[in-house]
With several copies, the nearest count.
Chain A
Amino acid sequence: MSEMTYAQAARLGLKEEMDRDPTVWALGEDLGFEGGMAGQYKDLQAEFGTDRIVDTPISEATIMGAAIGGALAGTRPIAEMRFSDFAMCAVDELVNQAAKARYMFGGQARVPMVARMPIGIRGGIAAQHSQSPEAWYTHVPGLVVVTPATPADNRGLLKAAIRCDDPVVYMEHKGLWGASGEVDEGDVEPLPLGVARTVCKGDDLTIVTWAAMVGVAESAAMTLRAMGISVEVIDLRTLWPWDKDAVFHSVRKTGRLLVVHEAVQIGGFGGEISAEVSEHLFEHLKGPVKRMGGARIPIPFSIPLEEAYMISAEQVAEKARSFF
């Protein structure tokens, strides 16, 4: 066990996979010297060379397209997009090509690639650098969507994403880069995709969440516990596939569900979870499924406005209390 940050853990997972499999490579802007926005690629170019940690022109469409081509031709590329906002410059390649190639070609092709595109707010980077569009990609057949919340998960899930034969949209949360946690360096196996993590157990209310909201929900759960409300917090880890078994199991027990995400609430993935649970566990519900998501506004720059967008543990606790 050692303590490391979320970014360092991702770097570790990437390095392990690059050591293990010579067909793994990464491409993106400023990966060499800069080592990625948070050091996720630090010193890897020195170790693996410029053909495996490729510094690219500012050409997002081609970063994504090249990763697809690289995958079709027998390698496992990681397309680094820096921000999920910039990945919008390559949505066509991701959605029209990566997600569909296997299907359109009747199974002749596989696209084992990772489209790495961090999400979330990180303090004043405003409307074009703070979005959380994970819901979009859950809606796209062919894609896997991963949203790690802890250092250990950011290693284990990245490893799983790299080994996955499907294209994976891998969405680290920028606000978590510096968060630290225990990582068991001895345990080198990837985590399974599609398996949620129960952050804490509880009987009265289930909170389903992911990414940076996991910590927020966890601290709300602690507050609520002190008030006598026992909350089960589930970190989905992967949004597609999402661990319906774990969520259904929990909701059957608690009878109450709150879904919390940083992304805009309207059209967010919380709607999917709410709809599924409502449709299939209607008889088990003690009250309506509730959602907490962001306002339908671009992310404002000014810190107090940005904070107003964000969801705090207090607000989660308050919303949770509205169930009782």
Chain B
Amino acid sequence: MAQDQANEPARIFDMFRKMLLIRAFEEAAGENFFAGNVRGSVHQYIGEEAIAVGICANLRDDDLLTSYHRGHGHSIAKGADPRAMMLELFGRVGGTSGGKGGSMHIADFSVGMLGANGVIADGCTISVGAAQAIKLLKQDKIIVNFIGDGGINRGPFMEALNWAKVYELPVLFVCENNQIAATTTTKTVTAGDGIAARAESYGIPAVTIDGNDLLLVDRTAAKLISEIRGGGGPRLMQAMTYRLRGHFAHDKALYRAEGEAEAALEHEPVRRAEAWLLEQGISESEITNAKEEAEARIAQYVEDAHNAPWPDLKAAFTDVQDVGAPVPGAGQ
């Protein structure tokens, strides 16, 4: 693990707790997907937690964030309430969207989390526009846009890179490169030297780092974010990582070479952060407690979700639009 003066163990331990919370959330989301309690799809962030946590540790509450389909981790890291998120996955009252959005549309505007997204790369163009609003409103916020390595091949993302640089917008693009897009090894459909080279061709400074190294993500994010906040324009971070699970909860990832996922466990971010904390003198029992605490919290939220009421059918007709209020259909 990368070492740094600023990385006091206590601070890192807090981040580690966030990672544990994300991990526990994702495990529970997957289990409840299989149990039929969570419908639709669930894209787990397991194995990538250090990126969201390391970056969001360097954000202010009023900074903004946009995500993609694998958005639970980013939401929790930015400060969204995991209880409300779990209720959302269950489609219940009290969910972040009152049950109307589900896993792929988790959002918490109160902490600047402007939404996961079911359409790849659409968060990118939204982000540059939000950054223009930030400038227009003379705020000193920044916005972080997360995208997968498969998503970088969509045109709107490439347009957004150009756009961000043209207007020198306060955007941090973070490409979470887990090297796969659904069942496709992204190298096979990505020409050239990848996203860092592409970003640089737009004049956007880009760095590629080990995204499973919490301290390194933290330190790199601190630097990039301060550059952006200082008016330096957009930056791109490519964080190399590995998706420990299938594309979504019901994908067994049989397209992977045997042993690949097992081997990757060695480099997974929770284990590595844990090792570092132990080296710093955090005790085994403190770590065990933290894990148990995260799991207990999430277990409680799952129980809460089970007990939460289903939305009233009337809820289907609110939040559509003010003008031309929703017209019921034949189902009502």
Contacts and interface: CB of A to CB of B under 8 A. Distances in A.
Interface stretch (A179-187, A200-208, A300-308): A300-308
Contacts of A304: 91, 310-311, 313
Given A57-B153, A104-B100, A164-B322, A70 B327 contact: no
Interface stretch (A59-67, A223-231, A246-254): A59-67
Given A70-B129, A165-B322, A310-B331, A127 B91 contact: no
A219 to B, nearest CB: 15
B126 interface: yes
- Is chain B's binding surface mostly helix, strand, loop or mixed? loop
A166 B129 contact: no
Contacts of B92: 302
A54 B153 CA distance: 16
A309 B109 contact: no
B99 A296 contact: no
A189 to B, nearest CB: 16
A107 B319 contact: yes
Nearest to A61: B156
A58 to B, nearest CB: 5
A221 B305 CA distance: 39
A178 interface: no
A92 interface: yes
Contacts of A316: 330
Nearest to A54: B132
Listed residue (A25, A72, A85) with the most chain B CB atoms within 10 angstroms of its CB = A72
Nearest to B255: A33
A52 to B, nearest CB: 7
B136 A193 contact: no
A143 interface: yes
B54 interface: no
Nearest to A95: B119
Among B41, B190, B324, chain A packs the most CB atoms within 10 A around the CB of B324
Given A55-B184, A57-B166, A109-B107, A294 B329 contact: yes
Nearest to A69: B129
B125 A108 contact: no
Interface residues of B, number: 85
Contacts of B133: 23, 69-75, 77
In this complex, which of B104, B105, B315, B323 has the most chain A Cβ atoms within 10 angstroms of its Cβ?
B323
B105 A260 contact: no
B256 to A, nearest CB: 10
B91 A301 contact: yes
B10 to A, nearest CB: 33
Contact of A166 (B159, B162, B166, B322): B322
A235 B193 CA distance: 51
Interface string A169-201: 000000000000000000000000110000000
B24 interface: no
A295 B331 contact: yes
A124 to B, nearest CB: 3
Given A69-B133, A166-B322, A311 B329 contact: yes
B185 to A, nearest CB: 10
Given A108-B108, A304-B311, A297 B326 contact: yes
Nearest to A264: B329
B101 A104 contact: yes
A105 interface: yes
B129 A77 contact: yes
20 contacts: A34-B183, A54-B132, A57-B189, A58-B120, A62-B125, A69-B133, A72-B114, A92-B122, A97-B122, A105-B97, A106-B98, A194-B323, A238-B324, A293-B330, A295-B327, A295-B332, A301-B105, A305-B100, A305-B311, A311-B331
